[in-house]
Structure 1
Amino acid sequence: MKKNTNVDKEILNKQNQHWENTFTKKSDMFGTEPSIPAQKATKIFKKEGKKELLELGGGQGRDTIFFAQNGFQVTVLDYCETGVETIKQKAQKMGLSESITAICHDVRKPLPFDDESFDCCYSHMLYCMALTTSELEFLSDEIRRVLKLGGLNVYTVRNTNDPDYGTGIHRGEDIYEVGEFVIHFFDKEKVDHLAKGFEIINIDEFEEGGLPRRLFRVTLKKE
Protein backbone atom coordinates (compact mmCIF):
# COMPACT_ATOMS: atom_id res chain seq x y z
CA MET A 1 0.00 0.00 0.00
CA LYS A 2 1.45 3.36 -0.98
CA LYS A 3 2.18 5.86 1.76
CA ASN A 4 2.93 9.54 1.52
CA THR A 5 4.81 10.19 4.75
CA ASN A 6 4.75 13.96 4.29
CA VAL A 7 2.14 14.51 6.99
CA ASP A 8 1.84 17.86 8.76
CA LYS A 9 1.78 16.57 12.34
CA GLU A 10 1.66 20.07 13.84
CA ILE A 11 -1.66 20.73 12.09
CA LEU A 12 -3.00 17.32 13.14
CA ASN A 13 -2.06 17.91 16.77
CA LYS A 14 -4.02 21.18 16.85
CA GLN A 15 -7.27 19.30 16.21
CA ASN A 16 -7.60 18.47 19.91
CA GLN A 17 -8.08 22.13 20.86
CA HIS A 18 -10.32 22.68 17.85
CA TRP A 19 -12.66 19.90 19.00
CA GLU A 20 -12.56 21.19 22.61
CA ASN A 21 -13.64 24.63 21.38
CA THR A 22 -16.33 23.16 19.12
CA PHE A 23 -17.82 20.97 21.86
CA THR A 24 -17.80 23.90 24.30
CA LYS A 25 -19.77 26.07 21.87
CA LYS A 26 -22.21 23.34 20.79
CA SER A 27 -23.45 21.10 23.59
CA ASP A 28 -25.15 18.69 21.18
CA MET A 29 -23.20 19.22 17.97
CA PHE A 30 -24.38 15.98 16.36
CA GLY A 31 -27.85 15.97 17.90
CA THR A 32 -29.24 13.80 20.66
CA GLU A 33 -30.58 10.88 18.64
CA PRO A 34 -28.32 7.82 18.22
CA SER A 35 -26.59 7.47 14.88
CA ILE A 36 -27.79 4.89 12.36
CA PRO A 37 -24.44 3.03 12.63
CA ALA A 38 -24.91 2.75 16.42
CA GLN A 39 -28.39 1.32 15.92
CA LYS A 40 -27.08 -1.23 13.42
CA ALA A 41 -24.11 -2.10 15.64
CA THR A 42 -26.47 -2.68 18.57
CA LYS A 43 -28.37 -5.28 16.56
CA ILE A 44 -25.12 -7.01 15.55
CA PHE A 45 -23.72 -7.02 19.10
CA LYS A 46 -26.97 -8.28 20.62
CA LYS A 47 -27.26 -11.06 18.05
CA GLU A 48 -23.73 -12.20 18.97
CA GLY A 49 -24.45 -11.96 22.71
CA LYS A 50 -21.93 -9.19 23.39
CA LYS A 51 -22.16 -7.21 26.65
CA GLU A 52 -18.88 -5.41 27.47
CA LEU A 53 -18.54 -2.60 24.92
CA LEU A 54 -15.65 -0.23 24.27
CA GLU A 55 -16.58 2.94 22.39
CA LEU A 56 -13.78 5.07 20.96
CA GLY A 57 -14.30 8.74 20.20
CA GLY A 58 -17.63 9.04 21.99
CA GLY A 59 -17.93 12.77 21.37
CA GLN A 60 -20.85 14.09 23.42
CA GLY A 61 -22.36 10.69 24.04
CA ARG A 62 -25.39 10.32 21.77
CA ASP A 63 -24.37 6.73 20.88
CA THR A 64 -22.95 6.01 24.35
CA ILE A 65 -26.31 6.70 25.97
CA PHE A 66 -28.10 4.52 23.40
CA PHE A 67 -25.77 1.58 24.03
CA ALA A 68 -26.27 1.84 27.80
CA GLN A 69 -30.05 2.03 27.36
CA ASN A 70 -29.81 -1.21 25.39
CA GLY A 71 -28.18 -3.10 28.21
CA PHE A 72 -24.48 -2.79 27.37
CA GLN A 73 -21.79 -2.05 29.92
CA VAL A 74 -20.06 0.81 28.11
CA THR A 75 -16.54 2.14 28.52
CA VAL A 76 -16.17 5.22 26.34
CA LEU A 77 -13.00 7.13 25.47
CA ASP A 78 -12.60 10.59 23.98
CA TYR A 79 -9.62 12.90 23.90
CA CYS A 80 -11.69 16.01 24.65
CA GLU A 81 -12.26 16.69 28.35
CA THR A 82 -15.39 18.65 27.42
CA GLY A 83 -16.91 15.63 25.67
CA VAL A 84 -16.08 13.27 28.53
CA GLU A 85 -17.63 15.61 31.12
CA THR A 86 -20.74 15.99 28.95
CA ILE A 87 -21.12 12.21 28.75
CA LYS A 88 -20.75 11.86 32.52
CA GLN A 89 -23.37 14.54 33.13
CA LYS A 90 -25.82 12.93 30.69
CA ALA A 91 -25.27 9.50 32.24
CA GLN A 92 -25.94 10.85 35.73
CA LYS A 93 -29.03 12.78 34.63
CA MET A 94 -30.47 9.69 32.92
CA GLY A 95 -29.62 7.26 35.71
CA LEU A 96 -27.05 5.42 33.62
CA SER A 97 -23.87 6.16 35.60
CA GLU A 98 -23.45 2.50 36.60
CA SER A 99 -23.56 1.45 32.94
CA ILE A 100 -21.15 4.06 31.57
CA THR A 101 -17.48 4.69 32.35
CA ALA A 102 -16.15 7.75 30.49
CA ILE A 103 -12.40 8.34 30.25
CA CYS A 104 -10.32 11.06 28.61
CA HIS A 105 -7.69 9.33 26.47
CA ASP A 106 -5.72 9.89 23.27
CA VAL A 107 -6.01 6.74 21.10
CA ARG A 108 -2.53 7.39 19.71
CA LYS A 109 -1.34 6.04 23.06
CA PRO A 110 -1.82 2.46 24.37
CA LEU A 111 -5.40 1.75 25.44
CA PRO A 112 -5.53 1.72 29.27
CA PHE A 113 -6.98 -1.79 29.56
CA ASP A 114 -5.80 -5.36 30.05
CA ASP A 115 -5.70 -7.86 27.20
CA GLU A 116 -9.08 -9.37 26.24
CA SER A 117 -11.15 -6.95 28.35
CA PHE A 118 -14.05 -6.35 25.94
CA ASP A 119 -16.58 -8.27 23.86
CA CYS A 120 -16.90 -5.57 21.21
CA CYS A 121 -15.58 -2.20 20.08
CA TYR A 122 -17.44 0.58 18.26
CA SER A 123 -16.40 3.91 16.80
CA HIS A 124 -18.27 6.30 14.52
CA MET A 125 -15.85 8.29 12.34
CA LEU A 126 -12.97 8.11 14.82
CA TYR A 127 -10.74 6.41 12.25
CA CYS A 128 -11.15 9.37 9.89
CA MET A 129 -9.99 11.93 12.45
CA ALA A 130 -6.50 13.48 12.47
CA LEU A 131 -4.70 10.13 12.60
CA THR A 132 -1.92 9.00 10.27
CA THR A 133 -1.87 5.53 8.76
CA SER A 134 0.87 4.42 11.17
CA GLU A 135 -1.20 5.67 14.12
CA LEU A 136 -4.22 3.78 12.78
CA GLU A 137 -2.11 0.63 12.48
CA PHE A 138 -1.14 1.03 16.13
CA LEU A 139 -4.77 1.64 17.14
CA SER A 140 -5.98 -1.42 15.23
CA ASP A 141 -3.39 -3.57 17.03
CA GLU A 142 -4.50 -2.12 20.38
CA ILE A 143 -8.18 -2.81 19.67
CA ARG A 144 -7.32 -6.38 18.76
CA ARG A 145 -5.33 -6.73 21.99
CA VAL A 146 -8.18 -5.59 24.27
CA LEU A 147 -10.88 -7.62 22.47
CA LYS A 148 -11.68 -11.16 23.53
CA LEU A 149 -11.28 -13.95 20.99
CA GLY A 150 -14.20 -13.65 18.58
CA GLY A 151 -14.75 -10.04 19.64
CA LEU A 152 -16.24 -7.63 17.13
CA ASN A 153 -14.92 -4.26 16.00
CA VAL A 154 -17.43 -2.08 14.14
CA TYR A 155 -16.20 1.26 12.83
CA THR A 156 -17.28 3.84 10.29
CA VAL A 157 -15.06 6.07 8.20
CA ARG A 158 -15.54 8.55 5.40
CA ASN A 159 -14.37 7.09 2.11
CA THR A 160 -12.77 8.34 -1.08
CA ASN A 161 -16.17 8.59 -2.80
CA ASP A 162 -17.11 11.35 -0.37
CA PRO A 163 -17.75 14.79 -1.97
CA ASP A 164 -15.17 16.36 0.37
CA TYR A 165 -12.38 13.99 -0.68
CA GLY A 166 -9.58 15.90 -2.40
CA THR A 167 -10.97 19.30 -1.39
CA GLY A 168 -9.60 21.76 1.15
CA ILE A 169 -5.93 21.64 2.18
CA HIS A 170 -3.97 18.42 1.64
CA ARG A 171 -2.17 17.42 4.85
CA GLY A 172 -0.42 14.26 3.55
CA GLU A 173 -1.59 10.70 2.80
CA ASP A 174 -5.38 10.80 2.17
CA ILE A 175 -5.78 13.49 4.83
CA TYR A 176 -7.44 16.82 4.02
CA GLU A 177 -8.36 19.82 6.13
CA VAL A 178 -11.90 20.81 5.17
CA GLY A 179 -13.49 23.76 6.96
CA GLU A 180 -10.96 23.56 9.83
CA PHE A 181 -11.67 19.85 10.40
CA VAL A 182 -8.96 17.34 9.46
CA ILE A 183 -10.37 14.21 7.77
CA HIS A 184 -8.61 10.97 6.84
CA PHE A 185 -10.43 9.36 3.90
CA PHE A 186 -10.37 5.59 3.32
CA ASP A 187 -10.44 3.34 0.28
CA LYS A 188 -11.07 -0.40 0.57
CA GLU A 189 -7.35 -1.08 0.30
CA LYS A 190 -6.80 0.82 3.55
CA VAL A 191 -9.62 -1.10 5.25
CA ASP A 192 -7.96 -4.36 4.19
CA HIS A 193 -4.57 -3.10 5.35
CA LEU A 194 -5.84 -2.25 8.84
CA ALA A 195 -7.69 -5.56 9.24
CA LYS A 196 -4.57 -7.54 10.16
CA GLY A 197 -5.50 -10.18 12.74
CA PHE A 198 -9.21 -9.76 12.03
CA GLU A 199 -11.68 -11.47 9.75
CA ILE A 200 -13.55 -8.93 7.62
CA ILE A 201 -17.25 -9.71 8.06
CA ASN A 202 -18.65 -6.78 6.08
CA ILE A 203 -17.71 -3.52 4.39
CA ASP A 204 -20.95 -1.64 3.77
CA GLU A 205 -21.16 1.75 2.08
CA PHE A 206 -23.79 4.22 3.28
CA GLU A 207 -24.62 7.93 3.30
CA GLU A 208 -25.18 10.29 6.23
CA GLY A 209 -26.00 13.96 6.62
CA GLY A 210 -26.78 16.75 4.21
CA LEU A 211 -23.79 16.61 1.84
CA PRO A 212 -24.27 13.66 1.99
CA ARG A 213 -21.17 12.19 3.57
CA ARG A 214 -20.23 8.83 2.11
CA LEU A 215 -18.89 6.27 4.53
CA PHE A 216 -17.87 2.68 5.00
CA ARG A 217 -19.25 0.68 7.91
CA VAL A 218 -16.69 -2.01 8.62
CA THR A 219 -17.40 -5.10 10.76
CA LEU A 220 -14.40 -7.13 11.89
CA LYS A 221 -14.05 -10.22 14.07
CA LYS A 222 -10.92 -10.99 16.06
CA GLU A 223 -9.42 -14.24 14.83
Structure 2
Amino acid sequence: MTGAQTAAAEDFASERRRMMEDIAALVRETRDEIGKRAFDERVMAAMAGVPRHEFVPADQRPYAYQNRPLPIGHGQTISQPYIVALMTDLARVEPGHKVLEVGTGSGYQAAVMAHLARAVYTIEIIEPLGLQATQRLQRLGYDNVQVRLGDGYHGWEEHAPYDVILVTAAASHIPPPLIRQLKAGGRMVIPVGASFLIQQLMLVEKNLDGTVSTRQILPVAFVPLTGKH
Protein backbone atom coordinates (compact mmCIF):
# COMPACT_ATOMS: atom_id res chain seq x y z
CA MET A 1 0.00 0.00 0.00
CA THR A 2 1.40 3.41 -0.98
CA GLY A 3 1.63 6.32 1.41
CA ALA A 4 -1.37 7.97 -0.25
CA GLN A 5 -3.42 4.77 0.05
CA THR A 6 -2.48 4.41 3.70
CA ALA A 7 -3.53 7.99 4.41
CA ALA A 8 -6.83 7.46 2.59
CA ALA A 9 -7.51 4.28 4.56
CA GLU A 10 -6.80 6.11 7.82
CA ASP A 11 -9.11 8.95 6.79
CA PHE A 12 -11.92 6.51 6.05
CA ALA A 13 -11.31 4.75 9.38
CA SER A 14 -11.63 7.98 11.35
CA GLU A 15 -14.69 9.03 9.33
CA ARG A 16 -16.28 5.64 9.97
CA ARG A 17 -15.74 6.11 13.72
CA ARG A 18 -17.45 9.50 13.53
CA MET A 19 -20.34 7.90 11.62
CA MET A 20 -20.75 5.36 14.40
CA GLU A 21 -20.75 8.15 16.98
CA ASP A 22 -23.42 9.99 14.98
CA ILE A 23 -25.58 6.85 14.83
CA ALA A 24 -25.26 6.30 18.59
CA ALA A 25 -26.21 9.93 19.26
CA LEU A 26 -29.29 9.70 17.02
CA VAL A 27 -30.42 6.52 18.77
CA ARG A 28 -30.40 8.41 22.06
CA GLU A 29 -32.32 11.31 20.47
CA THR A 30 -35.01 9.03 19.05
CA ARG A 31 -35.22 6.62 21.99
CA ASP A 32 -38.87 7.46 22.70
CA GLU A 33 -39.92 6.55 19.14
CA ILE A 34 -37.79 3.44 18.74
CA GLY A 35 -38.09 2.22 22.33
CA LYS A 36 -34.41 1.78 23.16
CA ARG A 37 -31.33 3.84 24.01
CA ALA A 38 -28.80 1.82 22.00
CA PHE A 39 -28.76 -0.55 19.05
CA ASP A 40 -27.68 -4.17 19.42
CA GLU A 41 -23.90 -4.52 19.59
CA ARG A 42 -23.89 -6.97 16.66
CA VAL A 43 -25.70 -4.40 14.51
CA MET A 44 -23.20 -1.70 15.42
CA ALA A 45 -20.30 -4.04 14.69
CA ALA A 46 -21.77 -4.84 11.27
CA MET A 47 -22.20 -1.14 10.50
CA ALA A 48 -18.61 -0.49 11.54
CA GLY A 49 -17.39 -3.42 9.44
CA VAL A 50 -18.85 -2.38 6.07
CA PRO A 51 -16.79 0.08 3.99
CA ARG A 52 -19.56 2.50 2.97
CA HIS A 53 -17.20 4.36 0.64
CA GLU A 54 -17.13 1.25 -1.57
CA PHE A 55 -20.89 1.51 -2.09
CA VAL A 56 -21.13 5.08 -3.41
CA PRO A 57 -20.03 6.63 -6.72
CA ALA A 58 -16.51 8.06 -6.84
CA ASP A 59 -17.73 11.66 -6.70
CA GLN A 60 -19.65 10.89 -3.48
CA ARG A 61 -16.77 9.21 -1.63
CA PRO A 62 -15.78 12.36 0.28
CA TYR A 63 -19.26 12.24 1.87
CA ALA A 64 -19.51 8.46 2.30
CA TYR A 65 -19.52 8.48 6.10
CA GLN A 66 -21.74 11.48 6.62
CA ASN A 67 -25.02 10.54 8.23
CA ARG A 68 -27.20 11.31 5.23
CA PRO A 69 -28.46 9.60 2.08
CA LEU A 70 -26.36 9.96 -1.07
CA PRO A 71 -27.24 9.64 -4.77
CA ILE A 72 -26.12 6.44 -6.49
CA GLY A 73 -27.53 7.15 -9.96
CA HIS A 74 -30.77 6.25 -11.76
CA GLY A 75 -32.76 8.40 -9.33
CA GLN A 76 -31.85 6.15 -6.39
CA THR A 77 -30.02 6.75 -3.13
CA ILE A 78 -28.00 4.91 -0.52
CA SER A 79 -29.87 5.35 2.75
CA GLN A 80 -28.74 7.40 5.72
CA PRO A 81 -26.51 5.21 7.95
CA TYR A 82 -28.77 5.71 10.98
CA ILE A 83 -31.77 4.42 9.02
CA VAL A 84 -29.79 1.40 7.76
CA ALA A 85 -28.79 0.64 11.35
CA LEU A 86 -32.34 1.18 12.63
CA MET A 87 -33.89 -1.15 10.04
CA THR A 88 -31.23 -3.76 10.76
CA ASP A 89 -31.78 -3.49 14.50
CA LEU A 90 -35.57 -3.78 14.15
CA ALA A 91 -35.12 -6.94 12.06
CA ARG A 92 -33.40 -8.79 14.93
CA VAL A 93 -31.36 -10.93 12.56
CA GLU A 94 -29.80 -14.09 13.97
CA PRO A 95 -26.80 -16.00 12.53
CA GLY A 96 -28.97 -18.79 11.13
CA HIS A 97 -31.50 -16.50 9.49
CA LYS A 98 -32.42 -16.17 5.84
CA VAL A 99 -33.10 -12.59 4.77
CA LEU A 100 -34.93 -11.13 1.77
CA GLU A 101 -34.18 -7.54 0.78
CA VAL A 102 -36.33 -5.67 -1.73
CA GLY A 103 -34.32 -2.88 -3.35
CA THR A 104 -30.63 -3.75 -3.58
CA GLY A 105 -29.49 -0.30 -4.67
CA SER A 106 -25.73 -0.17 -4.26
CA GLY A 107 -25.72 -3.31 -2.09
CA TYR A 108 -24.89 -1.52 1.18
CA GLN A 109 -27.82 -2.77 3.27
CA ALA A 110 -27.28 -6.30 1.94
CA ALA A 111 -23.62 -6.12 2.98
CA VAL A 112 -24.59 -5.08 6.51
CA MET A 113 -27.09 -7.95 6.68
CA ALA A 114 -24.46 -10.36 5.35
CA HIS A 115 -22.45 -9.83 8.53
CA LEU A 116 -25.41 -11.00 10.62
CA ALA A 117 -27.38 -13.61 8.65
CA ARG A 118 -26.70 -17.00 7.07
CA ALA A 119 -27.98 -15.94 3.65
CA VAL A 120 -29.22 -12.71 2.06
CA TYR A 121 -31.35 -12.69 -1.09
CA THR A 122 -31.76 -9.23 -2.59
CA ILE A 123 -33.78 -8.00 -5.57
CA GLU A 124 -33.16 -4.91 -7.71
CA ILE A 125 -35.47 -3.76 -10.49
CA ILE A 126 -32.99 -1.32 -12.09
CA GLU A 127 -30.66 -3.52 -14.11
CA PRO A 128 -27.48 -1.36 -14.08
CA LEU A 129 -27.68 -0.99 -10.30
CA GLY A 130 -28.29 -4.70 -9.83
CA LEU A 131 -25.35 -5.66 -12.02
CA GLN A 132 -23.04 -3.16 -10.29
CA ALA A 133 -24.14 -4.37 -6.86
CA THR A 134 -23.52 -7.99 -7.85
CA GLN A 135 -19.98 -7.22 -8.97
CA ARG A 136 -19.30 -5.04 -5.92
CA LEU A 137 -20.52 -7.59 -3.40
CA GLN A 138 -18.53 -10.35 -5.08
CA ARG A 139 -15.39 -8.20 -5.18
CA LEU A 140 -15.72 -7.41 -1.48
CA GLY A 141 -16.20 -11.06 -0.56
CA TYR A 142 -19.87 -11.12 0.45
CA ASP A 143 -20.35 -14.71 -0.65
CA ASN A 144 -23.60 -15.22 1.30
CA VAL A 145 -25.47 -12.60 -0.76
CA GLN A 146 -27.36 -13.42 -3.97
CA VAL A 147 -28.66 -10.61 -6.19
CA ARG A 148 -31.59 -11.02 -8.56
CA LEU A 149 -32.85 -8.60 -11.20
CA GLY A 150 -36.59 -8.20 -11.05
CA ASP A 151 -39.68 -6.72 -9.40
CA GLY A 152 -39.26 -7.12 -5.66
CA TYR A 153 -42.97 -6.51 -4.97
CA HIS A 154 -43.50 -10.19 -5.70
CA GLY A 155 -40.62 -11.34 -3.50
CA TRP A 156 -38.43 -14.34 -4.33
CA GLU A 157 -40.60 -17.40 -3.95
CA GLU A 158 -37.81 -19.88 -4.63
CA HIS A 159 -36.08 -19.26 -1.31
CA ALA A 160 -39.14 -18.52 0.86
CA PRO A 161 -40.05 -18.50 3.67
CA TYR A 162 -37.77 -15.81 5.13
CA ASP A 163 -36.99 -15.04 8.75
CA VAL A 164 -36.59 -11.36 7.89
CA ILE A 165 -37.71 -9.16 5.00
CA LEU A 166 -36.39 -5.62 4.49
CA VAL A 167 -37.92 -3.26 1.96
CA THR A 168 -35.69 -0.29 1.16
CA ALA A 169 -38.16 1.71 -0.94
CA ALA A 170 -41.52 3.20 0.01
CA ALA A 171 -44.64 1.20 -0.83
CA SER A 172 -48.20 2.50 -0.78
CA HIS A 173 -49.15 -0.65 1.13
CA ILE A 174 -47.52 -3.78 2.52
CA PRO A 175 -47.20 -6.17 -0.45
CA PRO A 176 -49.25 -9.35 0.14
CA PRO A 177 -46.66 -11.59 -1.60
CA LEU A 178 -44.07 -10.48 0.96
CA ILE A 179 -46.40 -11.25 3.86
CA ARG A 180 -46.94 -14.73 2.41
CA GLN A 181 -43.18 -15.29 2.08
CA LEU A 182 -42.47 -14.19 5.66
CA LYS A 183 -41.99 -17.09 8.05
CA ALA A 184 -44.31 -17.40 11.06
CA GLY A 185 -42.48 -15.59 13.83
CA GLY A 186 -40.67 -13.46 11.24
CA ARG A 187 -40.26 -9.69 10.99
CA MET A 188 -40.55 -7.28 8.07
CA VAL A 189 -39.33 -3.68 8.10
CA ILE A 190 -40.84 -1.48 5.39
CA PRO A 191 -41.48 2.23 4.74
CA VAL A 192 -45.14 2.78 3.85
CA GLY A 193 -46.67 5.94 2.40
CA ALA A 194 -47.04 8.16 -0.63
CA SER A 195 -44.14 8.69 -3.03
CA PHE A 196 -41.86 11.64 -2.25
CA LEU A 197 -43.86 12.55 0.87
CA ILE A 198 -43.20 11.59 4.47
CA GLN A 199 -43.74 7.88 5.01
CA GLN A 200 -43.85 5.76 8.14
CA LEU A 201 -41.25 3.11 8.82
CA MET A 202 -43.30 0.06 9.81
CA LEU A 203 -42.40 -3.06 11.73
CA VAL A 204 -44.52 -5.98 10.55
CA GLU A 205 -44.55 -9.14 12.65
CA LYS A 206 -46.08 -12.41 11.50
CA ASN A 207 -47.37 -14.26 14.52
CA LEU A 208 -47.08 -18.00 14.94
CA ASP A 209 -50.78 -18.42 14.08
CA GLY A 210 -50.25 -16.57 10.79
CA THR A 211 -51.88 -13.30 11.84
CA VAL A 212 -49.99 -10.07 11.24
CA SER A 213 -49.39 -7.14 13.57
CA THR A 214 -47.88 -3.79 12.58
CA ARG A 215 -46.28 -0.91 14.45
CA GLN A 216 -45.26 2.54 13.24
CA ILE A 217 -41.70 3.39 14.27
CA LEU A 218 -40.95 6.88 12.94
CA PRO A 219 -41.37 9.14 9.89
CA VAL A 220 -38.94 8.51 7.01
CA ALA A 221 -38.41 9.60 3.40
CA PHE A 222 -37.57 6.86 0.86
CA VAL A 223 -37.64 6.74 -2.92
CA PRO A 224 -40.75 4.90 -4.18
CA LEU A 225 -40.98 1.17 -4.77
CA THR A 226 -41.24 0.73 -8.52
CA GLY A 227 -42.70 -2.10 -10.58
CA LYS A 228 -45.89 -3.23 -12.32
CA HIS A 229 -47.98 -3.78 -9.18
TM-score interval, normalised by the smaller of the two chains: 0.5 to 0.7
Does the CA-based 8 Å contact 2:104-2:123 persist in structure 1? yes
What is the aligned partner in structure 1 of residue 217 from structure 2?
204
Partner Cα distance (2:92, 2:200) in 1: 29
* Deviation for aligned residue 1:92: 1.2
User: Do structure 1's residue 41 and structure 2's residue 87 form an aligned pair?
Assistant: yes
Aligned partners of 1:56 and 1:122 also within 8 Å: yes
State, as a whole percentage, how many aligned pairs show the same letter: 15
Residue 128 (structure 2) pairs with residue 82 (structure 1): yes
Which residue of 1 is the match for residue 97 of structure 2? 51
CA distance in 2, matches of 1:83, 1:26: 16
Does 2:29 correspond to 1:29? no
Contact 2:98-2:117 within 8 A present in 1 as well:
no
Pick which of 81-90 and 29-38 moved more. Answer: 29-38
Partner of 1:103: 148
Residue of structure 2 equivalent to 1:171: none
1:37–1:124 Cα contact (<8 Å) kept: no
- TM-score, structure 1 length as denominator? 0.53
What CA deviation, in whole Å up to 9, does each residue of 1:101-150 have, x standing for no partner? 00011135x334148421010012342xxxxx5xx46xx21011111111
Check conservation: 1:58, 1:123, Cα contact below 8 A.
no
Q: Which residue in 1 is equivalent to 2:45? A: none
Higher relative contact order (CA 8 A, sep 6+): 1
Contact kept? 1:118, 1:146, Cα under 8 Å:
yes
Q: How far has the Cα of 1:70 moved from its partner?
A: 3.0
1:119-134 paired onto structure 2 within 5 Å: 119-127=163-171, 133=172
Question: What do the CA deviations read for 1:144-198 (whole angstroms, capped 9, x no partner)?
Answer: 11111111110124x5xxxxxxxxxxxxxx55xxxxxxx366579xx79xx9942
1:44–1:187: structure 2 CA closer, same or farther, 3 Å change rule? closer
User: Secondary structure of 1:70's match?
Assistant: coil
Are 1:145 and 2:180 an aligned pair? yes
CA distance in 2, matches of 1:156, 1:104: 21
> Please, which runs of 5 or more residues in structure 2 have no aligned partner?
1-55, 61-69, 224-229
Higher-helix-fraction structure:
2
**Which amino acid in 2 is paired with 1:121?**
I
Deviation at 1:99, TM superposition (A): 0.8
Q: TM-score, normalised by structure 2?
A: 0.52
Partner SS for 2:152: coil
More strand by share: 1
Is the partner of 2:155 in helix, strand or coil? coil
Q: 1:36 to 1:124 in 2, by over 3 A?
A: farther
**Counterpart residue number, 2:23:** none
Separation in 2 of the partners of 1:197 and 1:26? 46
Aligned-pair Cα RMSD in Å: 3.9
Q: 1:118 aligns with which of 157, 162, 167?
A: 162
Instruction: Note closer, same or farther for the CA distance 1:156–1:76 as it changes in structure 2 (3 Å cut).
Output: same
The total of aligned residue pairs comes to 150
Distance 1:79 1:25, change over 3 A: farther
Secondary structure at 2:157 match in 1: coil
